[in-house]
Amino acid sequence: MRLHRGDTGEVIRTRDQDDYMELYGYPFWQVLREAYVPVMMEVVKKYGVNLRLICRVKDIDQKATAVILDTGERIEADLIVGADGIRTIVRRSAVPGGDVPMDTYWNAYICRIPKEPILQDPELAFIMNEHALWMSANMDQVLNLITYCKRWKVVEPPELATWSNEKGKCVLIGDAAHAMIPAAAQGAGMGIEDGPAIAECLDRARNLSDIPRLLKAFETIRKPRTTRVKHQARANAEIFMVADPEAQRKRDHEWKSDPSNRTGYNLDKDKAEELKQGSLAKQNWLLGYDVYEVVSVIPPLRNKFCLANAVRRTKNWTEYWEFRVHEKGWHGNARAGSSYMNVLAMLVHMKRFMACVMREVLRY
């Protein structure tokens, strides 16, 4: 990935992304939602889910737990999951504090450019060979090749106190619950994580009366993580769009000082290793997350006290790892930079954490 200055075209950050395959088993890909949705639809059809299209939701009847379509049709259910995006009807109709104005000062543009003219231009061909966050001085050369452009308003809903209604029969997931500025490439990813998280929580229900408590467990697990990613997205946007020249120079210097930057400065070896470990910790917190593993600490419902204690432990999942990384380091002898010690120390902390959870569960 290469990042260029907008006024001079200078490359101020170049970062290898080859380690993603080694660390996580997959390459670093970014996919447009419009390309991803058809893939999900095919999977849904494969499993025989009844998928109804062109059904516009008009309102939610909370008393009857029913969805009302604009045709007047009522669809009743045991639980309503509002996965209806940032302009969600479910949030405005059923969740406390959900009917709020949303605005930012930013617009986003998505453009399509044929690859052939780019490949034929010696100055632009590099774009097709590696990912480039491109704000170069010769941007006009690329803009002149655009064949399609769409503009939309970037909005960020305020944080909700809860994602479910008072009866615990309606819950929000995805953008309906935690839409964020598209500056961390994680908006859709957070929604995808919500899916198995809520499914695994509901799988522990013995009867319909368990649903409200399990929705709270789901929210307790997911809300701290999505909130942190949402804040990071806003911070990223503010860094990228900083207007003050002095602040820009400071930002560029920090980027060049990053040991993962191929165009960076030479740093003290120990300092470089410390920065590298900090960067890896943040990356692993975000991309090394296993939603099934996190939810697995919630046992099948035996009684509300057992669930409450298990969820209370799980609530601090993200903070737990953050504190361990910063206070003691997950990499054992940090100066040695040993991958073996990284893994060993991480497993030790994981074992202790899981033991605490299971002790609470087995008490009841």
pLDDT value of position 12: 77
* Cα(3)–Cα(11) distance, integer angstroms: 6
Top pLDDT among 91 and 344 is at: 91
Question: What pLDDT sits at residue 56?
Answer: 92
Please report whether residue 149 resides in a domain.
no
Per-residue pLDDT tens digits for 52-64? 988 999 999 999 9
pLDDT score of 323: 55
| In-domain check, residue 92 | yes
Judge whether 141 lies within some domain: no
**Considering the domain boundaries, does residue 154 fall inside one?**
no
Give the model's pLDDT for residue 198.
Answer: 97
Compute the distance between CA of residue 91 and CA of residue 155 in angstroms, rounded to an integer.
15
Query: Does some domain include residue 58?
Result: yes
Decide which of 218 and 158 is more confident: 218
pLDDT in tens, 96-140: 877 766 666 677 777 777 888 888 888 777 777 665 555 555 567
Would you place residue 90 in the very low, low, confident or very high pLDDT band (cuts 50, 70, 90)?
A: very high
Query: Which is more confidently placed, 152 or 43?
Result: 43
The 10s digit of each residue's pLDDT in 295-311 is: 988 766 554 445 555 55
pLDDT attached to residue 72: 95
Position 358 scores a pLDDT of 54
Domain interval for residue 348? 12-101+163-262+277-301+339-362
3-state secondary structure 100-127: CCCCCCCEEEEEECCHHHHHHCCCCHHH
Q: Answer yes or no: is pLDDT of 278 > 90.
A: no
pLDDT of residue 81 exceeding 80, the answer is yes
Q: Which residues contact 232 (CB under 8 A, 6 or more apart)?
A: 184, 186
Q: What is the CATH number of the domain that holds 239?
A: 3.50.50.60
pLDDT score for 192: 94
At 169, is the pLDDT very low, low, confident or very high (cuts 50, 70, 90)?
very high
Q: Which residue has the higher pLDDT, 71 or 102?
A: 71
pTM above threshold 0.75 = no
Q: Compute the distance between CA of residue 203 and CA of residue 225 in angstroms, rounded to an integer.
A: 22
Is 182 a member of any domain? yes
Res 73 pLDDT > 90: yes
User: Which distant-in-sequence residues (6+ apart) come within 8 Å of 295 by Cβ?
Assistant: 196, 197, 200, 201, 221
Residue 236 is predicted with a pLDDT of 85
Assign 194 a pLDDT band (cuts: 50, 70, 90): very high
Rounded to 5 degrees, what are φ and ψ at 80?
A: -110, 120
How high does pLDDT run on average in the chain? 77
Q: In this predicted model, which residue has the larger pLDDT, 68 or 114?
A: 68
How many structural domains does the chain have?
A: 1
- Considering 52-66, 241-255, 258-272, 305-319, the range whose residues carry the highest mean pLDDT is 52-66
Using the CB atoms, write b or e for 20-29: b if 16+ within 10 Å: eeeeeeeeee
Average pLDDT score over residue span 200-222: 93
Question: Is position 222 within any domain?
Answer: yes
Note the pLDDT of residue 221: 93
**pLDDT of 330 higher than 50:** no
Answer whether 99's CB lies under 8 Å from 86's CB: no
**Dist. CA 178–CA 222, nearest whole Å:** 10
Alpha carbon distance 276, 82 (integer Å) = 40
Backbone angles phi, psi at 152, to 5 degrees: -145, 155
What is the C-alpha separation between 356 and 310, in angstroms, rounded?
9
CA distances to 66, 282, 286, 327 from 323, rounded to whole Å, are 43, 12, 15, 6
Number of neighbouring beta carbons within 10 Å of residue 150: 9
pLDDT > 60? residue 266: no
Asked if residue 127 is part of any domain, the answer here is no
Name residue, tokens 């109709």: 93
Which of the four pLDDT bands, split at 50, 70 and 90, describes residue 215?
very high
